[in-house]
Chains A and B, each alone.
Chain A
Amino acid sequence: MKAIKAIATYKQTLLSLNALQRRANEISGAVERAGDVYEREYHSAHSILFPWGIFSRVKRTIRRVLGRPFFNEQDLHVIAPFLQMAAELAQLVDTKPLNEEGEII
C-alpha cells in the first residue's frame, strides 16, 4: 500500500510539474511575442514623433519653452495606443504562475 501511495504521489507531482512547465511556457511565450510587438511599435511611434531625431526633439523643446505642450494633440493619437500596448505588456509580465503559497495558479 505504501508503494502504491508513493506511486500516486509521484504521478501527482509529475502532473503538477508538467502543468507548471506548460503554464510557464505559455506565459513566457506570450511575453516574448508581445515584447517583440511592443518593441516594433515603440520604434514606429518614435519615428513618427521624432522624424528628424535630435532636431524634432529641439523643435518640441522650443515649443514647450514657448508655453505650449511638448506633445501636441496629434502626437497623443500616436502615444495613446502605444501606452495601451505597454499596459497590456505589463499585465502579461506581471502574470505569476505560482501564488504566495507556491501553488500553481
Chain B
Amino acid sequence: MKHNKVIHGTVVNAMGSVGKYMPAPDVLAFFNNLVSAFREEQQTQRDLAEIGAKRDLLIAEVTRRYDLYQSVFNNIFTERKHAVDKHFELVERGIATNNKDLIVHGLQGISTIVASSPFANIQELSKLMESGQRLEI
C-alpha cells in the first residue's frame, strides 16, 4: 500500500515535470495512449502465445499421426516378411528333400502374400485410427 503511494507520487511528479514542456490535457492524452499501447502490447503477447500453443499442438498431432501410421506400416511389412520367409523355408526344405509339391506349395504361398495388397484395409484402419480406438495389429 505504501509502495503504491510512492509509485503514485512518482507518476504525479513525473506528470508535473512533463507539464513544464506540454499542456496538462496533452500529458493526460499521452499517458492514456501509453497505457493503451501497453495493453495492446500485452494482448498481442497473449495472442502470440496462444497461436504458438496452437501451432505446437497441431505439429504434435501431425507428428503423432505420422508416427502411428509409420509404426502400423512397419508392423504390416514385418509380418508379411516373416510370412514370406516361412514360405521360402518350405521351398528350401522342398529343394533339400526333392519334394516338388512342397516347392510348389511354398511358391504359391509366397505369390499369394505378395500379390495381396498390404494397404487393402487402409481405409478401415484410417477410420479406426481417427476414432481413437485401441488397435491390435
Q: A88 with B119: in contact, given A4-B58, A7-B59 (CB under 8 Å)?
A: no
- Output the least CB separation between B38 and chain A (Å): 29
Is B118 in the interface zone, CB < 8 Å from A? yes
Task: Please state if A37 and B63 are interface contacts (CB–CB under 8 Å).
Answer: no
Other-chain residue from A18, A29, A41 in contact with B103 (beta carbon distance below 8 A): A41
Q: Name the residue on B nearest A25 (C-beta).
A: B77
Give the interface size bracket for B toward A.
20 to 34
Q: Contacts A26-B84, A92-B114; is A19 near B59 (CB within 8 Å)?
A: no
**Residue among B66, B107, B110 making CB contact with A15, cutoff 8 Å:** B66
Q: Does B50 contact A (CB under 8 A)?
A: no
| B-side contacts of A91, CB under 8 Å | 111, 115
Please tell me if the beta carbons of B103 and A81 are within 8 angstroms of each other in the complex.
Answer: yes
A41 to B107, CA, bound (A): 12
Give residues 29-55 of A contacting B (CB, 8 Å).
Answer: 29-30, 33-34, 37, 40-41
A68 at interface (Cβ–Cβ under 8 A)?
no
A-chain residues with CB within 8 Å of residue B63 when the two chains form the complex = 11
For B31-72 the 0/1 string (1 means CB < 8 A from A) is 000000000000000000000000100110011011001100
Question: Do residues A81 and B100 form an inter-chain contact, with CB atoms below 8 A?
Answer: yes
Q: How far is the CA of A3 from the CA of B114 in the complex (A)?
A: 38
Footprint of B on A, CB under 8 Å?
4, 7-8, 11-12, 14-15, 18-19, 22-23, 26-27, 29-30, 33-34, 37, 40-41, 81-82, 84-85, 88-89, 91-92, 95, 104-105
| B→A interface (CB under 8 Å) | 55, 58-59, 62-63, 65-66, 69-70, 73, 77, 80-81, 84, 88, 91, 95, 100-101, 103-104, 107-108, 110-111, 114-115, 117-119
